[in-house]
Each structure stands twice: as structure tokens, then as C-alpha cells.
Amino acid sequence: MKTPDWVKHAVFYQIYPDRFARGAGMVHERGLRFQPWGADPAAQGYQGGDLYGVIDKLDYLKTLGVNALYLNPIFSSASNHRYHTFDYLQVDPLLGGNDALRALLEQAHHRGIKVILDGVFNHASRGFWAFHHILENGGDSPYVDWFMINDWPLRPYHSDETQPPNYEAWWNLPALPKFNIKNPGVRDYLLKVARFWLEFGIDGWRLDVPEEIDDVPFWQAFRRVVKEVNPQAYICGEIWGHAGDWLQGDRFDATMNYTFAWSAMSFIGAASLRRDYIKEHMPMTPLSVSEYRQVVERMLSWYSDEVNQAQLNLLDSHDTARALWIMGEDKPSLALCVLLQMTMPGAPCIYYGDEVGVSGADDPYCREAYPWHEPALQDHDLLATYQSLTRLRHAHPVLRLGDVSFVEADNPELLIFKRELGADKALVVVNRTRELQTVNLPAAEYQNYMQEWPATHSSGAIGNQRRLTLAPQQGVVLVLAPHLFDETLYSGLTKVAAEGNQVKGAG
């Protein structure tokens, strides 16, 4: 099993295109009407974000430490989320069309930023050209076997529990007819789509609900096509739990690591976790230090290091509530979760706006517009914390490629783990409690680790022990890098100011 090398060094940023940014250079046809930027996301309309808007913000993303983008679907569709695809070979004109994607790829690659797209291949939309052909021609359409029709005439606009669609549809939604993957024409078409955009210049695919395509030969063929075009292209599947069979080298490189997400928030945010948030595959219940260690050790044991280093480690996404909302608007807890993202194996993925404190409940409230229009809504202290932590990850290969092991210590309230890569080592200490915590570590092992302490920290020696003191809701990273002339520590993570409960970077 070999995964793309660049992913192991990536910090991803997930963008929901309609809600990220409007491009200064975007020219729409006359007579279009968009919702105001920042409108209530529950209205489900279009707010006018486009790919030129992403281009305009690339320099901002670079300052955030981002070097890879994951874009939610961008192909022509009649929904703002664009999971209802009606033309897989055309970027939605509302996003700028194929020219806008070409410009984005050129500008992103010029800055060293990779771009992966969302592939929705389990289902199309009722506006997809082949399904529309069936709607117009019934059983006489040559494409009738591209979908799974159960009865005639089709009911494409009405369904309920007593009268579901009379064709196979995702979650029985009539707008989302499922492809008949067994049909050779469908397979050829979807593989052509995968090849077309890779040859166009994208750097990989995130695959929507792949488990619903229960067809191993199809996914094996998909991987062959992808890797023939670009051996370093990334294939990441939306699988929310254990995905052992998918990550054996013949299908995907990695998955969206929701186990990382729910366990980090359940541990770090244990004191503020919303107990009313119920989400399938995300058991959001408070975890102790030992319980969190068990989850992480089990998660890492599922796969090889090669896979673990390429997993997409997210905290939230378009399919979940915002991490900040889940943890009861507790920004220090969010910052500590980001510390875990940046110091554990796997490629961190930031959901757009999290870095400035955007919050919201589950879909559609997690899909609001980025608050470019309201600077007062942007938490610049939190942004600085994100920036310091991405710098930390980029500065030290040990945090990207090193082995990971948990450290036993004399304070059970602290999470302590070590990363090791040859002679390079890093020690991460996390205090998620609301109290001052102290830990003693063997001086013989840790005395040479370089450190910079926030004002609320103290360090000292007691006999043969090195003592560390951490303020409430604070983390520290100690680094031993003998190959560097100037050994560097990025510490810090958060301290809570007396006024305003503001998060301040301490790195």
C-alpha cells in the first residue's frame, strides 16, 4: 500500500463553493438574482460564491498554512450544494464554468496548493441528461438500463413513506436516482469523468457515499484509471468508520477520518459538549484521558502507517454541525482540538470559517457564508492560533511522519504523547481541564527538549524530574530536533484571558 507523498505534508481546507467567496472577476449573465451574502442558510438558496472567489482568497489561505483544497461538488447542478449533478463534464456556470476551474488550478498550483474535487458517482439527479431522456421517452429510451426502474410511469416529483419513488433513489429522494453501476455504459461514463478531470489538472478525488456502490471491481478500475493518469493523485472515500477492506491498496488511499473528529471533540470538549447533538456514526459522549487513548490506539491499529499518515483528519464538515457549536461555543476547546489535528498522524482538514469562529448546527446551518462582509464576526485571535499551529506542523517533519506513542505520567488528567522520527522527537502535553495541572517527567529523557513557555507556564527541576505546569485548557509542544542548528518549540496553544474569554495564541 503506497499513498501519495504530498498528502502526508498537507493541511487541507474544505470549501463549500456557494458560501465561501464571491469573485471580483466573476461575470454572470444579466438578470440573475442571488440571495444577499450572509443570508440565513436555512433558506437553501444561492448566495453567489464562485471559483473566482476561491482564487481571490488563495493568498489568505497560504497565510493560514493551507496547501491543499477540498472542494464540495462544482459540476452543473440544480442545488446549491451541487450533489444533484446533471452534467459531470461541466463546471457549473454559476461557479464560473470550466474556465474558472482552469484558472483556479493554475493559480493554486503556482502557490503550491493541491486541489481535489468531490465525486458523486452513486447517484445523479433527475436533470441528468440520461435520466431526463428516460423521463421523456419512458421504456423506449436507450438509456433505460442506466438506472434501476421498478414501475411505470415514473414519479420524479412526488414521494412519501407510503409511495416512494418507483425507481432506485438515494434515501428514496426522487431528485437523486441511483446509477446502475452494473451497466457497462455507466461504468465507462463514470471512469471517463474520473479521467477527464485528472487530465484537466485536479490532484485527486473525494468520493461521496462510496459504500453504497457495493462493487469492488468498479472501485478497483477507478483506482487504476486515477493512478494511470497521476500516480500521486489522492483518492479519499467518505466512510465514517472502520474501512479496512477499502484501504488495502486496490481502492482508496484514505478516508474522511470521522473517528478522529468525534473522539477529539468528545475528549477535549467533555465539559461543554452538547448532549442533544445526536449523529449516526458520531457517538458524542464525554471521554476520559484513558478512554480517548483507547479510541486513538484502536483507530491507528486499523491501518498501516502509510494509510494513517494520509487519513483526512477533520473536526467537522458540510455533513455535521460545526465543531465549535458541538462543543458549546468553547473556543479554547476548539483550539485544543486543532492542536491534536496538527500533531497527530493524518492530514488535517479545516472546514471553511472554523478558523475565525464560525459556528452553527447541523445542515443547513453549518453551510453559512464566510463572514467576509462582517469583520466583527471574525475572531482574529483564534485565526492566529490556527496559523501558529499550521506553522508548527509544517516546521517539523516528526509531527507529520513520526511514530506516535502515549506517555505514562504522574498526572492522569493530562494527555501526553510522543512523536519520533529518527533522532527528531516531539512531546505533546494537553490539559483539557479548567484547572492548573502539573506533571513530572524523567529529566534524563526530556531535559534537552527545547521550549518556550507562555506566561502562565512554569518549568523547574525536582531531583531527577522535570516539572511542567500547564494553565487551564492549555497545550504545549516540546521539540527535540538535533539536526537543526536552531531548535524550535512551538507551544501554545491557548490561554483564556480574564476578559471576554478570548482565545490567544501563545506560540
Sequence letter at residue 32: L
Query: Coil, helix or strand for 126?
Result: coil
Closest-CA residue to 392 (of 145, 65, 46): 65
Residue 295, all three cell numbers: 479510541
Torsion angle defined by CA atoms of residues 336, 339, 341 and 347, in that order, rounded to the nearest 10 degrees: 160
CA 478 to chain centre: 26
Residue 344, all three cell numbers: 497527530
Q: Which residues contact 261 (CB under 8 A, 6 or more apart)?
A: 282, 313, 314, 315, 316, 320, 323
Catalytic residue among 208, 253, 330, 379: 208
| Count of all residues that appear for the chain in the document | 507
Cell 476520559 sits on residue: 288
Closest-CA residue to 202 (of 68, 366, 402): 68
- Whole-angstrom distance, CA of residue 95 vs CA of residue 93: 5
Catalytic residue among 238, 253, 316, 424: 238
Closest-CA residue to 415 (of 351, 507, 344, 356): 344
238 is a catalytic site residue: yes
Query: Coil, helix or strand for 78?
Result: coil
Q: Which DSSP category does 9 fall into? A: G
Per the DSSP assignment, residues forming a β-bridge with 461 are 466
Residue 188, all three cell numbers: 465507462
Sequence letter at residue 12: F
- Whole-angstrom distance, CA of residue 429 vs CA of residue 418: 9
Q: How far is CA 296 from CA 1, 269, 273, 397, in A?
A: 21, 16, 19, 21
* CB atoms inside a 10 Å sphere around CB 349: 28
Residue 498, all three cell numbers: 480574564
Sequence letter at residue 186: V
- The residues annotated as belonging to the active site are 208, 238
